[in-house]
Amino acid sequence: MNKLIFAFAILTLSVWTAAAQTTNGTTRPTYGIFPADAVDVDVRNGALWVVGGEPGPDGYEIWQRSGNGWTKVSGGAFRIAIGGNGSPWIVNSKGAVFQRAGNEWRPIPAPQGYRVVDIAVDAVGDVWMITDGGTVYQWTGTGWKSDIALNAGFEINSVPNAGVVQAIDRTGKFWTRQGSNWVIAKDAIRGTEIGYERVALDFDGTKWGITDKGRLKKVGEQQAFEINPTKPSVTTPQTAVQPLKISIKQRGAYLGRVEVYAIDPSGQKSSLYSIGERGGGVDVDYTVTAAARTGKKIRIDLFFANLSSHYQPVYQALVPSDGANTVCYQMLGEIAKPWAESCDKNAPSYRTRHITFKNQAGFNAQMNLMYFVEQKINGVSVPIAKMTDGPIVGFLFDSEFFMPDDYMPSMPVTLIITAFATTKNDLFNTKFDMKGTDSPCYKVWGTIVSPQAGPC
């Protein structure tokens, strides 16, 4: 199912209300029932759980509805489903599964070699999940049992009907399990709710949904109701934007290139600085003025020159207008394995989402991606598919693809790996959501007669 475009809220309390928040001197309006962007939701017998808010190393914060407020629960997640006993199951951004036991999260081993991408619990309490390998599994109480391999996509749902679950495959077909059989259904079992990205259905028919703007609502209501809407907000003095000092230390055994852009709130990009042919030991220092930075994000692109003297991206950072006033990155490695990192590992890196491809095989291979950008046609936003033309990567070489500024996180990304001069050149494809993968990595290995590909 489509995911969301998020503007991360700054949250400081362990129990939230939906009163207005303040950030950088501007009063943020209330979000409604849940005072932040939501990623996933589930409900069972009136118990409402939400994944959303601040991102962390394992995903997003986990919240439980408590009366007229919200209680934050430890851990991080990307997907959530409430078990038959009322305890939630979660999938984090690394594809690991956990079950709530008391006040702790109990790890549940996933099928070896796979990442879990979604999870659901049916009406009788059976737990179901799908992996990035395209197989639907059922939890037996001691392990996962493969139920069907149907080229499943990235979503699995359940409804209050006993024993009914549904997985959506990569072609958009609705595979529905009724009893012990899987059949192709005409529609989504939870209904098609226009404007909603995720929907949870309770036993009494109540639906909770997450809109395409990241708002949690009770489906059917015109506006999410507010909790404590009259609570006053406090506006703090706005801090003036400072110049951004950028330092690039070139320590790699290759030629490097640096490009700096300013991106306004509408997504328009303007070039501020560009310099190439920087060999090892030749550093770059550039300062973005306060005027050029005000109200904009500053994007820093680092490239290396490959064996064909073509520049390939090695690092990308996106610094907000209220971010650090000094950033430093160092370019390292050699042509076969170039990389870059922050000079200070304790400082924010601001690195953007990206996909890494590693060749550990005895053959050449190529990674390509299909993603979507938003385009206005007659005033209507329409997703338009784009296809990359990635470099052909040889043994022990890596490549990275940084998601472009205009890509739609609400649409899935399709990854295709092609091998050359092997017994199986159409080697691998999968579909995932960049919102929950935290910059994935894929690789190839094996030989020309037994080529293999999968997650790193």
pLDDT of the residue at 232: 34
pLDDT of the residue at 58: 82
Same domain, 56 and 177: yes
Q: What are phi and psi of 210, to 5 degrees?
A: -110, 120
Among 68-82, 213-227, 229-243, which is the least confidently predicted range?
A: 229-243
Identify the H or E element spanning 251: none
pLDDT of the residue at 436: 56
Q: Are strands 165-169 and 174-178 parallel, antiparallel or unpaired?
A: antiparallel
Determine if residue 295 is left, alpha or beta; phi over 0 gives left, psi from -120 to 50 gives alpha, anything else beta: left
CA-to-CA distance for 222 and 27, rounded, in angstroms? 23
Q: Going by C-beta distance under 8 Å and a sequence separation of 6 or more, which residues neighbour residue 317?
A: 299, 300, 327, 329, 349, 350, 351, 352
Among 30-39, 70-79, 97-106, 237-246, which is the least confidently predicted range?
A: 30-39
Q: Is 223 inside a domain boundary?
A: no
Q: Which two tokens stand for residue 252?
A: 């790699």
Residue 253 has pLDDT above 80, yes or no: yes
Same domain, 150 and 191: yes
Bridge partners (DSSP) of residue 81 are: 89
Q: Which of 293, 414, 405 is nearest to 353 (CA)?
A: 405
Model confidence pTM above 0.85: no
Q: Is 56 inside a domain boundary?
A: yes
| CB-CB contact of 247 with 327 (8 Å) | yes
Residue 19 has pLDDT above 70, yes or no: no
Q: Is 234 inside a domain boundary?
A: no
Q: Are strands 59-66 and 47-56 parallel, antiparallel or unpaired?
A: antiparallel
**Residues of the domain holding 278:** 241-352
Q: Going by C-beta distance under 8 Å and a sequence separation of 6 or more, which residues neighbour residue 232?
A: 19
Q: Is 10 inside a domain boundary?
A: no
What number is the average pLDDT over the span 427-446?
A: 80
Indicate the number of domains in the chain.
3
Q: How many helices (H) and strands (E) does the chain have?
A: 2, 39
Same domain, 292 and 332: yes
| CB-CB contact of 162 with 145 (8 Å) | no
Same domain, 345 and 283: yes
Same domain, 67 and 173: yes
Same domain, 199 and 69: yes
Look at residues 315, 331, 352 and tell me which one is the last residue of a structural domain.
Answer: 352
Same domain, 24 and 119: yes
CATH number at residue 280: 2.60.40.180
Q: Is 230 inside a domain boundary?
A: no
Same domain, 258 and 206: no
Same domain, 189 and 289: no
356 by Cβ neighbours in 10 Å (0-12 / 13-18 / 19+) ranks as: middle
| CB-CB contact of 285 with 245 (8 Å) | yes
Q: Is 449 inside a domain boundary?
A: yes
How many other CB atoms are found less than 10 A from the CB of residue 182?
Answer: 17
Same domain, 212 and 155: yes
